Amino acid sequence: MKEAIQNTATNLFLRLGFKSVTMDDIAEEMGISKKTIYAHYSNKSQLIEGSVWQLMEEITTGIESLRAQNLNPIVENFEVKVYVQRMLKNEKTSPQFQLKKYYPKIYNTISNKKFEVAQHSIIDNLERGIRSGYYRSNISISFVSRLHFAGMLGVKDKNLFPEDEFSNNKLMDYLLEYHLRAICTPKGLEVLEDLLTKNKVKNEI
């Protein structure tokens, strides 16, 4: 039952927002009483924290699976972006922004883990891209990996990037293209341009 409650809550949090969802909503969605939920979770914050950690583990596992496919490093970036956006339901409710604003303790707890996972993935991608000739060999991996992570956090700030002007999908597209254009060799730029063209055609269909 605890796992079912966690899964239902996670889906509701992503669909409606951490702030908006109540224990009543979760109970109604599952057709159970709030008493049953409280038998496993003492409060909403505990349930949110469990959901966030569960989502983090699932995303980490998915990213590792993509990395294991040994894709072209540039292609891998796009595949990871699509996968994460799908897991976060395209971030329609701005989950990270809500978490930081309304549940800062949970946000801070998860942030270190996010940084660790992201750095591991980004650094591996950069190293493979340099070895294969798609990324410039003179970049500072330590600097670029941190800058890209900072960018991923920065675009979630709705004060800087208001939703009525920037959709989450577009923001991630802009950020990824900005990141890759800065580090690609001419060989890498050919791959990037091809991917951007294919994605543009796909979006227009």
Radius of gyration of the chain (CA): 19
- Among residues 202, 86, 68, 187, the alpha carbon closest in space to that of 134 is found at 187
Helix, strand, coil content of the chain in percent (nearest 5)? 75, 0, 25
Write down the pTM of the prediction.
0.85
Q: What is the DSSP string of 138-186?
A: TS-HHHHHHHHHHHHHHTT-TTTS-TTT--HHHHHHHHHHHHHHHHB-H
Domains and CATH numbers, the chain: 52-204 (1.10.357.10)
Over residues 102-150, the pLDDT tens digits come to 999 888 888 888 898 899 999 999 999 999 999 999 999 999 999 999 9
Q: What is the distance of C-alpha 62 from the center of its chain?
A: 11
> Does the pLDDT of residue 91 top 80, yes or no?
no
Nearest CA among 112, 108, 90, 101 for reference residue 168 = 90
- List phi, psi (to 5°) of 56: -60, -45
Dist. CA 17–CA 10, nearest whole Å: 10
Distance CA 47, CA 74 (A): 37
